[in-house]
Amino acid sequence: MLSRRSLFSTAALLGTGLTTLGSAPARAAATVPASALDEVVPTKAAPIALNFNENSMGMSASAKKAVIDSLGKAFRYPDDAKEAARKATADLNGVSPELVTLGSGSSQVIQAVVASQVQKARAAGKKVQLLQPVPTFGVAESYAAALNVPVTNVPLNAETLEIDVEALKKAAARFDGVTIVYFCNPNNPTGIVTDKAKLSGWIEASAAAKAPVFFLVDEAYGEFVENPAFESGVVLVKKGLDNLIVTRTFSKLYALAGLRLGYGIATKSVLAECDLFESVDNINLAGAVAAAATLADKTYLETSLAATKLSKAIVTKAFDELGIKYLPSEANFIFHQVKGDSETYRKHMADANILVGRAFPPFTGWNRLTLGTPGEMKAFVKVLKDFRTKGLI
């Protein structure tokens, strides 16, 4: 198991009171507002929600204004706003709008991908399976099960909790039919990135060999990644590979979880199949205008990233001080060990008015902690240290 400091220096961040990001071009300096730094006092009526990987910073002011300004047109269908959001999303990823499909959250895009690939395989008279690492985000599995598609699970590496790519390859090769590979990168709940040489290499090799394998690459947390070993699947789409789709969401960094907007990026042929299973009017006006406004609000995005980074520093510093093992997350959550089982730990935290993640079998001695605002994480650390004195962790 891993127990190490995060990739940035927590001591430097906290010792100097730094609340800005580094000098990377996409992550210019940003100041976390004082309101997000003040320690939160959780109550039964207002618990701290650190269980669903939401963005506690809340929507950007520009997104809120865009939603309010759009209400006068809410009686019209949102076609123009939808296309504006599609173009903004395409520009963000450096692709043409025709390579982008929008969904009511990335989960709806995933549903359409699974349905379209299953239909394609069955129309060709071929068997089909969904292949996935476990634990991972389970929505693709649930959609496959609804279509009576068998699901093959491959456990994570027991020592590192990384996705076992070689084992996935073998499982795909053994299957006499079409394999849909669901691959969350960074993975949920571990936050670990799969090296581009392993994942991109497998996708490219499969494309070259015309192997009956389709990759559903879920990059819901891609905006948080700093590890250079990561490569977005969008790079492969730009190369023209048609054996994958990349899904992303506006629910995490962009803080629009309640407005339900996500997207997929793939070649035109893949999207033509996928769009057959998307509702014509699956995007609402509020979500569309909020997404476009948020993407244009660079200050908000930099601040959101800065707050997440600071929150990670606060938590990992406490974990290090208490000797609690945790994984080096590249997302807005941290997977860490607990005393006993995660369900007991979760109940103790709920008693302290803090909501943390559910169990992720078979790693029942671990818990997934969403990174809220720095003020929320200060409250979490206080409870965590109190748990140590009580022998609860």
Q: How far apart are the first and last CA of the chain?
A: 17
Q: Residue 320 burial (CB < 10 Å; 0-12/13-18/19+)?
A: middle
* Tokens 């803080």, located at residue: 255
When comparing pLDDT for 288 and 279, which is higher?
288
The sign of the CA dihedral 53, 54, 56, 62 is positive
Task: Determine the pLDDT at residue 270.
Answer: 98
- The answer to whether domain 10-58+298-389 and domain 62-296 are alike in fold is no
Fold of 62-296: Aspartate Aminotransferase; domain 2 (3.40.640)
Residues in the chain: 393
The answer, yes or no, to whether residue 7 has pLDDT greater than 90, is: no
* pLDDT score, position 350: 97
- Residues 6+ away with beta carbon under 8 Å from 131: 151, 152, 154, 168, 171, 172, 175, 179, 180, 181, 182
Q: Which helix (H) or strand (E) holds 48?
A: strand 48-50
What type of residue is 24?
A
Tens of pLDDT along 325-380? 999 999 999 999 999 999 999 999 999 999 999 989 999 999 999 999 999 999 99
Q: Is the pLDDT of residue 321 over 90?
A: yes
- CATH fold of 10-58+298-389: Aspartate Aminotransferase, domain 1 (3.90.1150)
Q: Is the pLDDT of residue 280 over 90?
A: no
Q: Which residue has the higher pLDDT, 7 or 252?
A: 252
With the C-alpha atoms ordered 190, 104, 373, 7, is the resulting torsion angle positive or negative?
positive
Residue 13 predicted with pLDDT over 90: no
Query: To which H or E segment does residue 354 belong?
Result: strand 354-356
Least confident of 12-26, 27-41, 124-138, 280-294: 12-26
Mean pLDDT of the chain: 92
Q: Which pLDDT score, from 0 to 100, does residue 95 have?
A: 98
Residue 3's pLDDT band (cuts 50, 70, 90): very low
Write the single-letter amino acid at 158.
A
Q: Where are the domains of the chain?
A: 10-58+298-389, 62-296
Given this model, what pLDDT does residue 22 score?
Answer: 29
Res 294 pLDDT > 60: yes
Q: State both tokens at 293.
A: 């406004």
CA–CA gap between residue 227 and residue 229 (Å, rounded): 5
Long-range pairs of 140-145 with CB within 8 A, sequence gap ≥ 24: 140/110, 140/114, 140/180, 140/182, 140/216, 140/218, 141/182, 143/110, 143/111, 143/114, 143/115, 144/114, 144/118, 144/180
pLDDT at 30: 73
Is residue 12 pLDDT above 70, yes or no? Answer: no
Q: How confident is the model at residue 164 (pLDDT cuts 50, 70, 90)?
A: very high
Query: To the nearest whole percent, how much of the chain has pLDDT over 70?
Result: 93
pLDDT of residue 392: 86
d(CA 133, CA 232): 18
